[in-house]
Amino acid sequence: MELDVRTLMVVFTVNVFAVSLALPAIMGWRVGPAARQAVLSTLLQAGGWFFLVLSTFWRQQWQDQVCSVLAMAGMSASLVLLWRSIGLWTGRPQLAWPMWALTVLMTLGYGIGFEHYPWRVGLANGVLGTQMLAIVFAVSRHSPATGWRWRALIGLCMGATAVVTFWRGILGAFFTEAYPFLTAPHPVNKVAALVSNLSLVLTTVAILMAYREEAERELQAQAMTDGLTGLLNRRAWTERAEALLADAQRYGYPLVAVMLDIDHFKRINDERGHARGDQALQLLSRLLREELRTGDLAGRYGGEEFCVLLTHTREGQALSLDQRLRHCLRLQSAQELEFPLEYSAGVAALGTRDTTLDSLLRRADEALYEAKRAGRGQVVLAPRVAASPAPETLPA
């Protein structure tokens, strides 16, 4: 069965519109920025192809010109959004302005030089093909946090589409007699239609795979993260802390556990309301994230209690961290909460008898309660040996 090029373009346009409506129906509207930009990319692609098909029906040049310019703008912008969504999914976002600049310059140049057919065909297809190759490069970069299957699908589809796009651009710009108008019955148009339809299906599958991967990561993060403070929850913190403890024992580097408990937290809830209590927890959590180094571990251990594991750290460094944290907390709580916020802390350095994480945390917890019994608002350093004298209380 022989199909003309215009019919193939119409069929592809209908398919793109179907995909642009199906994706948000499948994903829902409350999606992350990467999935949202991928959906917008399909909508712009559908709009671009709609105007491109519409341009083939107009008889007057100005109508053809307006539709063609809108078509090129929509197609180019859709590639930019797909490129940006890939950067977000892979954790490698890049500066978007060069891609957007290509879109703007190509659209302007296409519209201004519309009457010169070789110019506009060569320009449009050259820029679109370049943007497709940028997408191929984006998915080919190493990304251990994402799967390779959906990236490979997008790379193959964009690579094949770029080949036929450059092919049409070269024919239109330098061999115009072989490709004198958009719907010319040239083999490149039929190949492009087949490649475009196949790429549409596979790219849609790849987008859904990437979205599923993102959703699974979010669910995993929610299972590991305390919803109020954004820190690790007790289970996730314990799992990671045990791994850090094993490394410290294996390689012999110092390790310190710190248990923190907000002072008079029940009184804050009772007198100032639970909303203020939540703000106090969030403030201390934020300051912990700001003060800790990469490699240190902080988690909400339960209620108003927090647990921190400091890697490659000795007691003196832990006490310095405590002083900085208290200073920042006093300043920030006075501004944000309108009352001073204090905490008690227990510090325990990894010793030879700490064979398990529980034993290390038990000593830090005992030091914490000694700080509370001594009047709160201070830090206590736990002894390394159980038979040592009572813990030494240090001024905050």
pLDDT in tens, 103-147: 999 999 999 999 999 999 999 999 999 999 999 999 998 887 788
In sequence order, the 6+-apart residues with CB closer than 8 A to the CB of 248 are 254, 255, 311, 350
**Nearest-angstrom CA–CA distance, 368 and 361:** 10
Give the start-to-end residue ranges of the domains of the chain: 5-223, 234-394
Catalytic residue among 214, 218, 304, 342: 304
pLDDT in tens, 221-259: 778 888 899 999 999 999 999 999 999 999 999 999 999
Among the CATH numbers 3.40.190.10, 3.30.70.270, 2.60.40.10, 1.10.10.10, which is that of 234-394?
Answer: 3.30.70.270
In sequence order, the 6+-apart residues with CB closer than 8 A to the CB of 200 are 12, 15, 16, 19
Tell me, yes or no, if 271 is annotated catalytic: no
pLDDT band at 3 (very low <50, low <70, confident <90, very high): low
Whether residue 151 contacts residue 89, with contact meaning beta carbons closer than 8 Å, is answered with no
pLDDT at position 386 is 45
Give the CATH class of 5-223: mainly alpha
**Nearest-angstrom CA–CA distance, 213 and 352:** 43
State pTM to two decimals: 0.71
Using alpha carbons, list the distances in angstroms from residue 105 to 22, 94, 239, 246: 32, 20, 53, 57
What is the 8-class DSSP label of residue 12? Answer: H
φ, ψ at 380 (rounded to 5°)? -120, 135
